Structure 1
Amino acid sequence: MTDSQKIDAFIAKQTKWKEKLEKLREILLQTDLKEELKWGKPTYTLNGKLVVGMADFKNHMALWFHQGVFLKDKHNKLINAKEAKALRQWRFEENDKIEQKIVLEYVEEAIANCKAGKELKPVQKKGVSIPPLLDEAFKKDTTLKEHFQKLTPGKQREYAEYITEAKQEKTKLSRLEKCIPMIKNGVGLHDKYKNC
């Protein structure tokens, strides 16, 4: 099955956003962008670089501009996507009209920016600084250290910062006690909130 056929299937399954997704797709296919399916969503690229994508949500659907930070946004359509500094989102709610001319204007500007090489690269994450209290716990319990090292750097950083941010030693100790079983279970500090 081609990406185009997969996107046909993705749109066919829609109930609430079908018309809007079809309209946006029609606009995007007028450009030089290549249509692909990434992360299960329609995505449009230029020479392998992500330019724009479409996504459906419960209360809105959106166009994601992967380097949207460089767009002039003269119609004030974009919102900052907090997860990524370069990403900008244009949301459409149920009664919003898709203005083809304005959408095309934004997409063409995004393409021009991509061709010009405008790109905000993600900042490389710094290493994890282990707080002394956690380091002591590792010395007492070597399995704790093994479990901690199996976590992603992001999850390791969450735990380290959570313990370090406490002002009082008593609070640091109680936070460490709370974290130990979670670390041993291989879960991140904030995992229960991430799947909501």
Structure 2
Amino acid sequence: MSRDAKVDAYLDKVAPFARPVLEHVRARVHAVMPEVEEATKWGAPAFLLDGKILLIMAAFKQHLALNFWRGQELRGEAASDEAMGQFGRITSLADLPADSELDRLIAQAAELSRSAPAARKPKAAPKPAAELHPEFVAALDGDPAAKAQFEAFPPGCRREYGDWIAEAKRDDTRAKRIATTMGNLREGKKLHWKYEGC
């Protein structure tokens, strides 16, 4: 049985209610999949099979979460959306599924990990082009170099400028933002140019 000292250290620090639940899940995972490896991912205990994450468990102040990596495929409609993980807010052993069900899910997660490619998420529809404030459009039309630079930016950068200007509540604030934008565009700078390369 492969146990990780970092997972032990994590369990030593959790709230008293969480430790027996996490230890129980840990024992079930090792009982079903003796070859599983323990690790910490994003600061939480994780179980890996052939380098792929099967399950992550995390403790919070008043609840904990159990998250199968391929949980939507395993739990489908039964998956909870009220907390991280597919089982909702877990506060005691009674909130876990029965051992037979938990064991089945662990075995099924391992089978999915070994045999089935990860489900592909459908691509999101592209966002519509940014709506530009008429005063900004007029400023761009009056400065061909700035307009050319603006149009050369990717859609997200154009949207950032458009939104920043449109969000101004006062006319003088909008005018200042347009002036700043026009200067930045003439220099080829994106809205958040100061933070690039940080």
Residues 63-93 of structure 1 show CA distances to partners (whole Å, capped at 9, x for unaligned) of 111211211569x4x21489xxxx8522353
1: CA distance between counterparts of 2:100 and 2:11? 22
Deviation at 1:120, TM superposition (A): 2.2
Deviation at 1:123, TM superposition (A): 5.4
2: CA distance between counterparts of 1:134 and 1:28? 60
Any gaps of 5 or more consecutive residues in structure 2? Answer: 178-190
Q: Which residue of 58, 65, 69 maps to 1:66?
A: 69
Query: Which has the larger share of strand?
Result: 1
Deviation at 1:54, TM superposition (A): 0.4
Say which SS state the counterpart of residue 110 (structure 1) adopts: helix
Please tell me whether the aligned partners of residues 3 and 35 of structure 1 are also in contact (alpha carbons under 8 angstroms): yes
Please tell me whether the aligned partners of residues 130 and 159 of structure 2 are also in contact (alpha carbons under 8 angstroms): no
Query: Does the C-alpha gap of structure 1 residues 72 and 122 become closer, same or farther in structure 2, counting only changes over 3 Å?
Result: closer
Say which SS state the counterpart of residue 89 (structure 1) adopts: coil
Say which SS state the counterpart of residue 29 (structure 1) adopts: helix
2: CA distance between counterparts of 1:65 and 1:9? 22
5 Å matches for 1:10-89? Answer: 10-15=10-15, 16-30=17-31, 31=33, 32-72=35-75, 76=78, 78-80=79-81, 88-89=85-86
RMSD: 4.5
1: CA distance between counterparts of 2:194 and 2:18? 37
1: CA distance between counterparts of 2:134 and 2:67? 40
Any gaps of 5 or more consecutive residues in structure 1? Answer: 165-169, 188-196
Query: Which has the larger share of helix?
Result: 2
5 Å matches for 1:16-165? Answer: 16-30=17-31, 31=33, 32-72=35-75, 76=78, 78-80=79-81, 88-97=85-94, 98=96, 99-122=98-121, 129-133=129-133, 136=136, 159=160, 163=163
Please tell me whether the aligned partners of residues 44 and 52 of structure 1 are also in contact (alpha carbons under 8 angstroms): yes
Please tell me whether the aligned partners of residues 41 and 55 of structure 1 are also in contact (alpha carbons under 8 angstroms): yes
Query: Does the C-alpha gap of structure 1 residues 159 and 28 become closer, same or farther in structure 2, counting only changes over 3 Å?
Result: farther
Please tell me whether the aligned partners of residues 65 and 89 of structure 1 are also in contact (alpha carbons under 8 angstroms): yes
Deviation at 1:48, TM superposition (A): 2.2
Say which SS state the counterpart of residue 58 (structure 1) adopts: coil
Amino acid at match of 1:40: G
Relative to the length of structure 1, the TM-score reads 0.59
Query: Does the C-alpha gap of structure 1 residues 89 and 135 become closer, same or farther in structure 2, counting only changes over 3 Å?
Result: farther
| Count of aligned positions | 161
Query: Does the C-alpha gap of structure 1 residues 129 and 103 become closer, same or farther in structure 2, counting only changes over 3 Å?
Result: same
Say which SS state the counterpart of residue 37 (structure 1) adopts: strand
Say which SS state the counterpart of residue 91 (structure 1) adopts: coil
Deviation at 1:186, TM superposition (A): 7.6
Say which SS state the counterpart of residue 88 (structure 2) adopts: strand
Amino acid at match of 1:11: L
